[in-house]
Structure 1
Amino acid sequence: MLAAHALVDGLDSPALRELAGLPRSSDETEIRELYVQALHELGVLLPDEEAAGRWLLVSLAVGLAKAELSPKDVVDRLSMMVAARTPEETQFLSIAADYSEWMGADELLEWENGLRTAAHSLTASTDLGSGTGVPGSLRD
C-alpha cells in the first residue's frame, strides 16, 4: 500500500509500479528487492545499518515524546541490535532495554517516566527533518 500511496503522491518508477501491484501474499524477498530497486530508481539512498538504527531510535523517541507511541510500543518496535553513538541515544536505549513484563505497577510507572524523559532529551539533542519525525541529520 505504501507503494500505491507513493504513486498517488506523484512518485513514479517501474519498480514502484510493480511493487504497488504485488499482492500482500508476495514473497518477502521479492518485495524487499523491488523496494530497494524503487528507491534506487527514485534517487533515494538507503542509510547504512548504523544510521538506520540511530534513525529508528530518534523516530521512536519522537513518537513517544509526541504521545503517538506508548513506552511499550517503543520496546516492541526497538531492536536491541541498534547501536547508540551519543549520550542521549545511549540513555534512551539503556532505559528501553530495562523493560520487563514482570515489573510491578510502581516500577513500571518509574520506567515509563524515565523512558519519556530520555525520549525528550534525545529529541531535543537531534536535528529533525521537516517536522515529520524522521531525522534529517544526526549529530555525532
Structure 2
Amino acid sequence: MQHSAWQYVAEVLRPEELPMLAAHALVDGRDSPALRELAGLPSRSDETEIRELYVQALHELGIPLPDEEAAGRCLLVRLAFGLAKDELSPKGVADRLSMTVAARTQEETRFLSVAADYSEWIGPDDLPGWENDLRVRNVGSCPFRG
C-alpha cells in the first residue's frame, strides 16, 4: 500500500483499480476497517467514495500520502527505470508524464526536456531520433540507477 500512495497522488492509479489493490493488501496481511470496505466495493463504484476510502485506509494503516512533488519525483524515477530496463518505450515514458514534475538536477532536467519534446505531432521520420536522444543522452547518465 505504501508504494501505491505515491502512484495515487501522481494519478498513475485510476480509482477503479483501488478496490482490487485493497483486496490484495488484505491478502498480504494488511487490515483496517476502511481497507475491508474498499476491497468489497465494485470497481465501478462512485469515484469519490473509492478515493475517500482509500485515503482513510492509508490513514488507518499509518501510511502517509506524499505531497505532489514527492509523488512526481517517484513517478520520474519509475519512468527512468522503466526506460532503462526496456520495460517502457520512449513514447510510453512521454505518455505517462501526466503531471508536472520538478527537476532538481541537470540530468533530471535533461530527461524531462527530451521527454517533453514528444507530442502527437512528431513526424514518423523524427521519432527514431527523439527516442535515441531520450535513451542515450538521458538513460546513459541516469541519476536514478543507484
Instruction: State the TM-score, normalizing by the size of structure 2.
Output: 0.78
Where in structure 1 are there 5+ consecutive unaligned residues?
A: 129-140
Matched with 1:101 is 120
Q: Do residues 90 (structure 1) and 105 (structure 2) align?
A: no
Cα 1:120/1:47, change in 2 over 3 Å: farther
Matched with 2:36 is 17
Matched with 2:94 is 75
Matched with 2:67 is 48
C-alpha distance in structure 2 between counterparts of 1:62 and 1:54, whole Å? 12
C-alpha distance in structure 1 between counterparts of 2:53 and 2:104, whole Å? 31
CA-CA distance at 1:105 after TM superposition? 3.5
Matched with 2:141 is 121
Cα 1:111/1:127, change in 2 over 3 Å: closer
Matched with 2:24 is 5
Number of residue pairs aligned between Structure 1 and Structure 2: 126
Contact (CA 8 Å) 1:95, 1:111: kept in 2 or not? Answer: yes
C-alpha distance in structure 2 between counterparts of 1:119 and 1:92, whole Å? 8
Cα root mean square deviation, aligned: 1.7
Instruction: Name the SS of the counterpart of 2:141 in structure 1.
Output: helix
C-alpha distance in structure 1 between counterparts of 2:116 and 2:145, whole Å? 24
Contact (CA 8 Å) 1:54, 1:82: kept in 2 or not? Answer: yes
Q: Do residues 39 (structure 1) and 35 (structure 2) align?
A: no
Instruction: Name the SS of the counterpart of 1:121 in structure 2.
Output: coil
Instruction: State the TM-score, normalizing by the size of structure 1.
Output: 0.81
User: 1:23-42 CA distances to partner (integer Å, 9 max, x unpaired)?
Assistant: 11111111111111111111
User: 1:94-134 CA distances to partner (integer Å, 9 max, x unpaired)?
Assistant: 11110123333442111111212313433xx2376xxxxxx
Contact (CA 8 Å) 1:80, 1:97: kept in 2 or not? Answer: no
Q: Percent identity?
A: 76
C-alpha distance in structure 1 between counterparts of 2:141 and 2:55, whole Å? 33
Contact (CA 8 Å) 1:75, 1:97: kept in 2 or not? Answer: yes
Cα 1:29/1:96, change in 2 over 3 Å: same
C-alpha distance in structure 2 between counterparts of 1:76 and 1:4, whole Å? 28
Supply the AA of the counterpart residue of 2:144.
Answer: T
